Amino acid sequence: MSATPPVKNTVLTAAVIVAALGYFVDIYDLILFSVVRVQSLASLGIEAKAAVKAQGEYLISMQMGGMLLGGILWGVLGDKKGRLSVLFGSILIYSLANLANGFVQTIEQYAWLRLIAGIGLAGELGAGITLVSESLPKEKRGLGTMIVATVGVSGAMLAFWVGQRLGWQKAYITGGVLGLALLALRVSVFESGMFQKTQAQTDVSRGNFWRLFTDTARLGRYVRCLLIGVPLWFVVGILITFAPEFGEALGIRGPEPLSAGLAVFWCYFGLVFGDFASGTLSQLLRSRNRALQIFLVFCALLVGVYLYGLRGATPTTYYMVCFVLGISVGFWALFVTVAAEQFGTNLRATVATTAPNFARGSVVLLVPAFRWAESVFDSRITGAAVLGGVSLLVAFWAVSTLPESFGKDLDYVE
């Protein structure tokens, strides 16, 4: 792994393939908990609606806490020890946690394993995007990160299918086996040449998380990178997660209440196409910022359709809108790519790993903010519209004020 990586003209390098498959298993595990939450808690003897809600929130809080902690841990290690060590270390940890999740007997065991899984899940995407960005020619790195995201988010659909068909225990074991099998591909992946060059410079401080806060301009870039990802988690964490509640508010009637699991499935199915489209668009426009701006406007339109165009609609129409809404927020990889391209080699993994995890963590603030807006306006729909509008406007401002990074030479240090 210490050898100098060969120069390749193809986009489908070993780094791209391993990062894409790693993110596939990453998303599988991340979404699987939402799919099997009720089923798994029932197996542990928790069936009362209030208890299921309370224990489910406890488990997701443990997982999210692990991801926030892991985001900093893996980011710093990525800049200090290398992108590969984080890529494979994170895959190993969440794969082992997945396997163990299939054998839990108590809530406490479940909770601690979700914490460990969260720590592992926090590292793969940032390390993978950083490695791919530094390994490909600058004209092609957007295509590489687009492939990583497009393949990765499709793991959500496999999680839904496996969770429904095999049961929660076999579903967790399947995810663990997939991750461990992926580690066999590590022999063909080279470390980033840019990282090796920086590693040899003994006077360069690498992976110093606090340096992001010691310079006003640097901190400004970092905060704006974080803000770009918030609208995606407003859509997934509020509009999609609370599908049954919004279905009730919109008067959507069907044989059964709207399913949050199905809403997640269709949203992530749309994300597959959205990530492909946003990555391709940024290459065609030769601009990350313009592609992001177009997608944010598209997202605003679809949020409007979701909140004000579905009253009295059928469940089928609702799920179709969830699919298109998923397309509109399919700029996840583009967001992480921009974060990676805004910083030097000595801080790149730190930013690319913490940014997506802090953006995911924004759900912790978005949910109470949504409940507050809902009560203030005495309307679930208006509250969501106000919160979504603010997050989209702030994200659009953040994109518009960031330096363009398409084609930027990444071989420099902060």
pTM: 0.86
What domains are defined for the chain? 8-185 (1.20.1250.20), 211-414 (1.20.1250.20)
**Residue 108 vs residues 46, 55, 92, 183: alpha-carbon distances, Å:** 13, 10, 22, 29
Task: Please tell me the predicted confidence (pLDDT) of residue 1.
Answer: 42
What would you report as the CA-atom Rg of the chain, rounded to the nearest whole angstrom? 20
Task: Please tell me the predicted confidence (pLDDT) of residue 8.
Answer: 54
The C-alpha atoms of residue 25 and residue 87 are separated, in whole angstroms, by 12
Sign of the Cα torsion 115, 117, 121, 124 reads positive
What 50-57 contacts at long range (C-beta under 8 Å, 24+ apart), as own/partner pairs, is 55/107
The C-alpha atoms of residue 184 and residue 208 are separated, in whole angstroms, by 31
Residues constituting the chain: 414
Strands (E), 24-126: none
- pLDDT tens for each residue of the chain, 414 residues long: 444 455 456 778 888 988 899 899 989 988 888 888 888 888 888 887 778 778 887 888 888 889 989 999 999 999 999 888 898 899 999 999 999 999 999 999 999 999 999 999 999 888 999 999 998 888 888 899 999 988 988 898 899 889 888 889 999 999 999 999 988 776 677 788 888 888 888 778 888 899 999 899 999 999 999 999 999 999 998 999 888 889 989 999 878 878 888 898 899 999 999 999 999 999 999 999 999 999 999 999 999 999 999 998 999 999 999 999 999 999 988 998 999 999 999 999 999 999 988 988 888 888 889 989 999 999 999 999 999 999 999 999 999 999 999 989 898 888
- Classified as helix, coil or strand, 82 is coil
Task: Please tell me the predicted confidence (pLDDT) of residue 186.
Answer: 65
Measured in whole angstroms, the distance separating CA 34 from the mean position of its chain's CA atoms is 15
Task: Please tell me the predicted confidence (pLDDT) of residue 84.
Answer: 87
DSSP, residue by residue, 187-247: GG-PPPHHHHHHHT-TTS--S-GGGGGSSHHHHHHHHHHHHHTHHHHHIIIIIITTHHHHH
The C-alpha atoms of residue 410 and residue 414 are separated, in whole angstroms, by 11
Contact 131, 340 (CB under 8 A): no
